[in-house]
A and B are shown apart, each in its own frame.
With several copies, the nearest count.
Chain A
């Protein structure tokens, strides 16, 4: 299972890297290229976002990538297909990230089945809290996919424990208030929050939102198991092209 993979990997490394891409951005072909470059550069997990027209929890960078991908005609079926290709030949776990409506309209069971068939390991769906997740959890469970849940600095200790009951694989800790792609202060306050997260669950922890460079990643060592790089890779691609991704990732993990 996913948490076993993480724990095993962590025995080798101080911290793992999870990166994020939007399927179909800048194009379907290029997003596959990016996946390959990232895996080769040594990332430990990958988040493949299926674009949605209303990505409410995403900031401008990922939002724009969602839109671009949809404008070019990306469909969920195609994303499923591309995901299969992305996964094949790589040994790291791949997760789907999307919004609930994408799964819901596809059919939760069918989604879980197809995702499983594609080799996907789990799903991150930021707009399904456990309270609303009954069907979702059941579908994931049936196909042995890990539903990744989220902690936020505003989540109480009690609620962290509540969420932990439904979480599988790892818990995704959001570093701060706000949406993806904004600056995060890697501070003592963050430490305290992560300590709370740690106390609430035995699962590995990932931290995302605002992780950008080696210093950020270093700060997180010993505090979480996974550093998540989201918007920043898209910025690198936007500014320096797909070819720059490998070097960027290697720079983080150095």
Chain B
């Protein structure tokens, strides 16, 4: 890397001047934390006493048998406190915020997972907390909003722009430029201006480090392929980090194919020809944008993948060929979810189920002495409102209608 914060031509820190000093401090604090072994130790201690790390690596014996090919293992980030890998990043940033002496955190959230994780971290560390969430998402993800509020966070519905995740990010930046003295912006994924992609990846690399070790201990060898869904790219970068130097381990990122990569309604930046390089939200990467550089609307059944940009590190790793990308459609995702629940008693988040789709496509053509690891980035019970709709469950609908009646009474 020639320039710091760049991954090939991607990355950078396209910052309004007002934030430059804040980022100088932030970069410095991060660099000093990264160089300080006691910081990582504190992080490990926190994650093993407050969340449930190391998370298990589960051998999915039934799925393996079902597909009759590679041995399928599942890395269980769903067992983290707050139910997803988001906790890793957020707790790490919490420690950094403490180190920087700031007292307030802000964050964007789409599905609400990162918002809940941040609000949780803020409660634990005693920080003030404001969460920006597109108005559309506030309406869709009320359960998460409810918990954020219980956790003491102020949830601000963003009514600007398309009122979804990217607009929440913009609003969070607008808050930050006002309050940077007291406030740290806890970005939820491996995107945004440098050093966010590097830092989020660093905290999430705990997934990959554990997985590598667990594979060697349990299977006696490294996996042949590792699958992860890609929204912003944090869970994927997290697990991939453990294997980047292991040339024989194939790394596969799976994006949101929505109604199909040809439909125009998807969120596939690296697995479709629809995205192009641009600069927004402070960094350079592939964006789903029009010819003028205006960001397009994206679609996915999984709110957490429904984002226009993608980690600059992944853009680079696609270019170097180190990571292969594919997309999974909404329909495939619901099917993979159904199968995984029935066969293994695991309920992956809709986001995570994207990784399962591609793994299921490839497993049958592999041999039983090959090993696949899928990153189950989160648990799906948070998705009940979406999943119930995807299944069109009439009993669920009746339950909601009756509940509404109760409230009308």
B16 within 8 A of A: yes
Measured CB to CB, the closest approach of chain A to B358, in angstroms, equals 30
B180 within 8 A of A: yes
B14 within 8 A of A: yes
A155: chain B residues within 8 A (beta carbon): 17, 20-21
Q: Could you tell me the distance between the alpha carbons of A129 and B282 in the complex, rounded to whole angstroms?
A: 11
Measured CB to CB, the closest approach of chain A to B31, in angstroms, equals 17
Q: In the bound complex, do residue A179 and residue B178 qualify as a contact, i.e. CB atoms below 8 Å apart?
A: yes
* 23 A–B contacts from the bound complex (CB under 8 Å): A53-B161, A53-B294, A54-B170, A55-B170, A56-B170, A59-B174, A63-B160, A76-B292, A100-B14, A105-B291, A105-B292, A105-B293, A127-B16, A127-B282, A129-B20, A132-B14, A150-B17, A152-B17, A154-B21, A174-B18, A177-B180, A178-B18, A178-B174
Which one of A64, A106, A127, A151 contacts B279 once the chains associate, using CB atoms below 8 Å?
Answer: A127
Q: In the bound complex, do residue B14 and residue A127 qualify as a contact, i.e. CB atoms below 8 Å apart?
A: yes
B103: chain A residues within 8 A (beta carbon): none
Contact with B along A50-80 (1 / 0, CB 8 A): 0011111101100110010010000111000
A99 within 8 A of B: yes
Nearest-CB residue, chain B, relative to A105: B293
B179: chain A residues within 8 A (beta carbon): 177
Q: Which of A55, A102, A106, A154 has the most CB of B within 10 A?
A: A154
B281 within 8 A of A: yes
B280 within 8 A of A: yes
Nearest-CB residue, chain B, relative to A155: B17
Nearest-CB residue, chain B, relative to A50: B292
Q: Which of A57, A60, A70, A99 has the most CB of B within 10 A?
A: A57
B161: chain A residues within 8 A (beta carbon): 53-54, 63, 67
Q: Could you tell me the distance between the alpha carbons of A102 and B22 in the complex, rounded to whole angstroms?
A: 25
Nearest-CB residue, chain B, relative to A149: B17
Measured CB to CB, the closest approach of chain B to A96, in angstroms, equals 14
Q: In the bound complex, do residue B279 and residue A104 qualify as a contact, i.e. CB atoms below 8 Å apart?
A: yes
Q: Could you tell me the distance between the alpha carbons of A149 and B17 in the complex, rounded to whole angstroms?
A: 9
Measured CB to CB, the closest approach of chain A to B328, in angstroms, equals 27
Q: Which of A90-112 contact B (CB under 8 A)?
A: 99-102, 104-106
B276 within 8 A of A: yes
Which one of B16, B22, B277 contacts A126 once the chains associate, using CB atoms below 8 Å?
Answer: B16
A9 within 8 A of B: no
Q: Could you tell me the distance between the alpha carbons of A128 and B20 in the complex, rounded to whole angstroms?
A: 11
Contact with A along B262-302 (1 / 0, CB 8 A): 00000000000000111111100001010111110000000
Which one of B21, B160, B281 contacts A156 once the chains associate, using CB atoms below 8 Å?
Answer: B21
Contact with B along A135-153 (1 / 0, CB 8 A): 0000000000000011111
B15 within 8 A of A: yes
B83 within 8 A of A: no
Q: Which of B276, B291, B294 has the most CB of A within 10 A?
A: B294
Q: In the bound complex, do residue A179 and residue B160 qualify as a contact, i.e. CB atoms below 8 Å apart?
A: no
Q: A102-B292, A105-B292, A106-B293 are in contact. Are A177 and B18 (CB under 8 A)?
A: yes
B207 within 8 A of A: no
B240: chain A residues within 8 A (beta carbon): none
Measured CB to CB, the closest approach of chain B to A67, in angstroms, equals 6
